[in-house]
Structure 1
Amino acid sequence: MAKSASTPTRRFLKLAGMTATIASKTITHSIRNIKADDQAKTSAKSQLFQEIGIQIADTLGEMKGAVMKVGQIASQYKDLFPKEVSNAIAKLQRQAPAMPFSDIQKQVESALGKPLTHIFSDFEPEPFAAASIGQVHRATLHTGQQVVVKVQYPGVDEACASDLKQVRLALRMMGLLKIDKTLQDKLFAEIQDSLDNELNYQIEAHNLEIARNFHQAIDSKIIIPQVFHEYSSRHILTLSLEMGESIETASTWALPIRNQLGRRLIQAIGQEIFYLKRFHCDPHPGNFAFREDGSVIIYDYGSIKQLSEQTVEHYRALVNAARESNIPQLEQHLKQLEVIEETGKFPEMLYKQWLEVLLRPLTTQYNFEENSSHHDAMILAKQSLKYWDVFKPSAETLMINRTVSGHYWNLIHLKMQDDLSDLLSDLVPKPTV
């Protein structure tokens, strides 16, 4: 990890420097545009946000480790920030630090209490994957079992809590958080919980076992890696090696196979949401792999959202109200989920247009490659713009919304063409009269 950001003081100084630079840009922007017309102000503000986003992404990316993970998690909550800032921070998810193998070896041996050669018969020194808080190596146990070993960088967990506070302070001072303090507190508490869970590989091991047992009982072609507890700890996670092809490769296969993979993926996530009530909430394509026999492999259960029965019931009711275009009922459940504060503020005609667009991929013979719902949503968004302040980010809905929309794009990548109405009916049965 970068030595320039290896201590709390140095990290604080870098973040403080970032805040000061952006504050200066913001003041300069205000002075320059004080007499500009509305169109010029809007254009200048968008340009300012783009510059701010790049500054934040470059600073957090350079610092790596804890603060980079904070930036990545923050980027998942796109409703918190202007879109220009969100888009820039999102690139952090594609960056990754490198760590010398000697440090990796020390970390493994310290965590597991044995020399590396006593634990593994082979351990590849070059990582085949890396992220902000650790990297992944292929290895072989003395039994001949091929495994992957996730190794967390030293000191990352100790730094994350303070880094999150500093990032939030910087964003708030720059006026980039678009929501009131009460909701900020709730959302950042959820970000902190998510961060704590991702930093504790024992929690991820527990999540993996729950998901593995759940899916094995339903569908043997949903594959979750097996945890090897003897070779795992809070900072080390050893899993069975489960190989599959990327979504890019899978998108070249025959349509029936692509449809089978897409249906299986959506069914698995839907079952986790509506029945297991704890779901894998990082829909990044790199967290999934595919086989031509129709199998779907799901990696990385560090990011999990647990749902209350009450929240799940509200979502079931939302789906059923949407099916019936029952706007009063829809709004009541949106209010319960804290998505809206008052009913009757958004035009019923627009609600019905949005429901048709949003339900189209799940209720009709739909060509995901053509992506008509997204195109029509862009048109509707312009018509709805003046009503957007009716809706607000909700701690209960952000991760579900992100997961569902992320998997919509995964189906687009798979170039799926299918009617998923039967799948929706299985996941959310219509109420019996």
Structure 2
Amino acid sequence: MAKTAKTASTPGRRFMKLAGMTASIASKTVSNSIKNLTADEEQKNASRSKLFQDIGLQIADTLGEMKGAVMKVGQIASQYKDIFPPEVARAISKLQRQAPAMPFSEIKAQVEKELGKPILSIFKSFDETPFAAASIGQVHKAVLPDGQQVVVKVQYPGIDEACESDLKQVRLALRLMGVLKVDRKLQERLFKEIQESLDNELNYQIEAQNLAVARAFHEKLDSKIVIPKVFPEYSSRHVLTLSLEPGESIETASAWPLEVRNALGRRLFRAMGQEIFYLKRFHCDPHPGNFAFREDGTVIIYDFGGVKTLSSEIVHHFKQLIHASRERNVTEIEDQLDALHAMAEKGKFPAGLYQQWLEVLMRPLTTHYDFAENSAHHDGVELVKASLKYWDVFKPSPDTLMVNRTVSGHYWNMIHLKVHDDLSDVFEELVPPRSA
């Protein structure tokens, strides 16, 4: 009888597939260099862009086929897209789409192995069809013996065993391409952070802790921020059982009345800021699928596998950066960016461009802003053209990458919700202006 293909292939097969990808990338890169020996600058740039497109697609296709740990590595890499050329970032970003489901027989075996009993002696009922599937696991609805409706996240068998070698292979492939836009020391810091992020996502006990902390934090501040409750006796390192917290998708919520959409937007913005500036631990996966909404203004936050902890020092620098931006103080802005390891060369970016960027970036936070119109983004695209030749003044920083990703991701969530509001009061509540 034919066996169903396993999500995590054997270490040998996985290694050979990744090694084949790496060898192919090395060959393409060398061939491109030889071909361009006599090319002019314009031809070299066009050829390099085409090479990056081809290689980016190859990485995405290879990791996508393999699913499991390597696909998760690709997804995390795509979250750090600031360190890649746009051609590569676009290709690997498709790895964030949902993966096909795993056969229920394997899910059942994993649950029984982790929780130590037959599945129907643990749960009153357990839906065989998942309602969500991703790269490292899938989610099933179930009912506890006392009638409580729950969702059960089940990690695919074998996913966590090969992550370190998978990450090394992906990193080697990217280095052979020569596409990492940062020096070796910064690469070490970035990939260490990616490894830690991956380790945390693969450990559902850490996610359970993250959920408990966030739930305790938010329930004191706002009863309409809902975080699922963990059921520890039905959970383990690879199985996580949570209360079922239903809500509507962002697409459905976008059709609700403006006052409801504005209430949701304000609540989402406030919750994000409270986590960053006060809790100093924040949910850093702003994908719209990780949020649900109710017409009474409730926001439900799912999936706390990705949580970033900030030091008091880093939070202090972010606050000072906001103060300097409000005051349009370019010198202090550069000092704070430098303290956050995001500045390569101070004093090299034109002051006039700084002022234009500040107006664009602060507009959604300080004016009555129509997110659906999205004027800041459109004006920012125009500013990029004038700024490109100075772009190497800035550099990606492990201190700022996840904050930037979270803030920009929620900006797009506000666009999806079609928020049209003045958020300046919430902004000042989160980071009060400096005293005169």
Quickly name the TM-score band, shorter chain normalised.
over 0.9
5+ unaligned residues in a row in structure 2: which ranges?
Answer: none
TM-score (norm 1): 0.98
Question: Which one of the candidate residues 341, 345, 359 is aligned to 1:342?
Answer: 345
**Which amino acid is 1:250 matched to?**
A
Q: Find the counterpart in structure 2 of residue 122 from structure 1.
A: 125
Correspondence for 1:368: 371
Task: Tell me the residue number matched to 1:37.
Answer: 40
* Separation (CA, whole Å) in 2 of partners of 1:409 and 1:68: 24
Deviation at residue 5 of structure 1 after TM alignment: 5.8
Q: Report the Cα distance in structure 2 between the residues aligned to 1:153 and 1:129, rounded to whole angstroms.
A: 13
Alpha-carbon distance in 1 for matches of 2:255, 2:33: 50
Matches within 5 A, 1:224-373: 224-373=227-376
Aligned match of 1:72: 75
Change (3 A) 1:2 1:169: farther
Q: For residues 379-433 of structure 1, what are the alpha-carbon distances to aligned partners after superposition, in whole Å with 9 as ceiling and x for unaligned?
A: 1111111111110010100000000000001101111111111010000001223
Contact 1:222–1:296 under 8 Å retained in 2: yes
Contact 1:2 1:62 in 2 (8 A): no
> Matches of 2:378 and 2:91 in 1, distance apart?
23
Match of 2:392 in 1: 389
Q: Which residue does 2:159 correspond to in 1?
A: 156
**Residue 31 of structure 2, aligned match among 12, 17, 28:** 28
**Which position in structure 2 is the counterpart of 1:166?**
169
Contact 1:148–1:241 (CA under 8 A) maintained in structure 2: yes
User: For residues 200-231 of structure 1, what are the alpha-carbon distances to aligned partners after superposition, in whole Å with 9 as ceiling and x for unaligned?
Assistant: 00000000000001000000000000000010
Q: Matched residues in 1 for 2:278 and 2:65: separation?
A: 41
SS of 2:332's equivalent in the other structure is: helix
Deviation at 1:4, TM superposition (A): 9.0
- Alpha-carbon separation, structure 1, partners of 2:11 and 2:359: 50
Q: Is the 8 A contact 1:311 1:396 kept in 2?
A: yes
Paired with 2:42 and 2:248, the residues of 1 have a C-alpha distance of: 47
C-alpha contact (below 8 Å) 2:371/2:418 kept by paired residues: yes
Question: Retained in 1: the 8 A contact 2:7–2:102?
Answer: no
Corresponding residue for 1:205? 208
How far is the alpha carbon of 1:341 from its aligned partner? 3.5
- Residue aligned with 1:149, SS: strand
Find the counterpart in structure 2 of residue 425 from structure 1.
428
- Residue 56 in 1 paired to residue 59 in 2? yes
Which of 107, 129, 135 in structure 2 is aligned with 1:104? 107
Could you tell me whether the CA contact under 8 Å between 1:64 and 1:97 is conserved in 2?
A: no
Task: Say whether the 8 Å CA contact 1:245–1:289 is kept in structure 2.
Answer: yes
Amino acid at match of 2:255: T
Separation in 1, partners of 2:305, 2:9: 24
The alpha-carbon distance between structure 1 residues 138 and 71, as it changes in their structure 2 partners (threshold 3 A), is: same
Q: Compute the displacement of 1:3 (Å).
A: 4.5
CA RMSD in angstroms comes to 1.2
Distance in 2 (CA, whole Å) between partners of 1:167 and 1:55 is 12
Residue in structure 2 matching 1:182, options 167, 173, 185: 185
User: Residues 2, 62 of structure 1: CA spacing in aligned structure 2 closer, same or farther, 3 A cutoff?
Assistant: farther
The number of residues matched between the two structures is 433
| Residues 378 and 401 of structure 1, relative CA distance in 2, 3 Å threshold | same
Letter of the 2:324 counterpart: A
Partner of 2:325, secondary structure, is helix
Secondary structure (helix, strand or coil) at the match of 1:330 reads helix
Partners of 1:280 and 1:303 within 8 A in 2: yes
Mapped contact 1:150–1:236 kept (Cα < 8 A): yes
Contact 2:345–2:394 (Cα < 8 Å) also in 1? no
- Given that 2:25 and 2:176 are in contact with CA atoms closer than 8 Å, whether structure 1 keeps it comes out as no
- Counterpart among 1, 4, 9 of residue 6 in structure 1: 9
Contact 2:22/2:169 (<8 A) preserved:
no
Answering whether residue 136 of structure 2 is matched by residue 138 of structure 1, we say no
SS in 2 for 1:379: helix
| Counterpart in the other structure of 1:16 | 19
Q: Does 292-301 or 24-33 show the bigger shift?
A: 24-33
Amino acid at match of 1:151: V
Q: Do 2:98 and 2:134's aligned partners in 1 also have CA atoms closer than 8 Å?
A: yes
* Offset, 1:34: 3.2
TM-score by length of 2: 0.97
- Given that 1:4 and 1:10 are in contact with CA atoms closer than 8 Å, whether structure 2 keeps it comes out as no
* DSSP 3-state at the match of 2:162: helix
- Percent identical pairs in the alignment equals 70
CA gap 1:157/1:5 in 2 versus in 1, 3 angstroms: closer
Q: Is the 8 A contact 1:225 1:299 kept in 2?
A: yes
Aligned positions of 1:78-97 closer than 5 A: 78-97=81-100
State the AA in 1 paired with 2:411: Y
CA contact (8 A) 2:124 2:145 kept: yes
Distance 2:105 2:273 in 1: 42
Letter of the 1:269 partner, please give it. Answer: M
Partner SS state of residue 338, structure 1: coil
Question: What amino acid maps onto 2:60 in structure 1?
Answer: A
Contact kept? 1:369, 1:413, Cα under 8 Å = yes
Quote the Cα distance in structure 2 between the aligned partners of 1:301 and 1:234: 14
CA spacing shift, 1:394–1:310, aligned 2, 3 Å = same
State the AA in 2 paired with 1:261: L
Whole-angstrom CA distance in 2 between matches of 1:239 and 1:5: 25
Indicate if the aligned counterparts of 1:2 and 1:64 stay in contact, CA closer than 8 A.
no
Contact 1:136 1:150 in 2 (8 A): yes
Specify the SS of the correspondent of 1:36.
coil
Secondary structure of the residue that 2:139 maps to in structure 1? strand
Deviations, residues 287-312 of structure 1 (Å, cap 9, x unaligned): 00011100000000000000000100
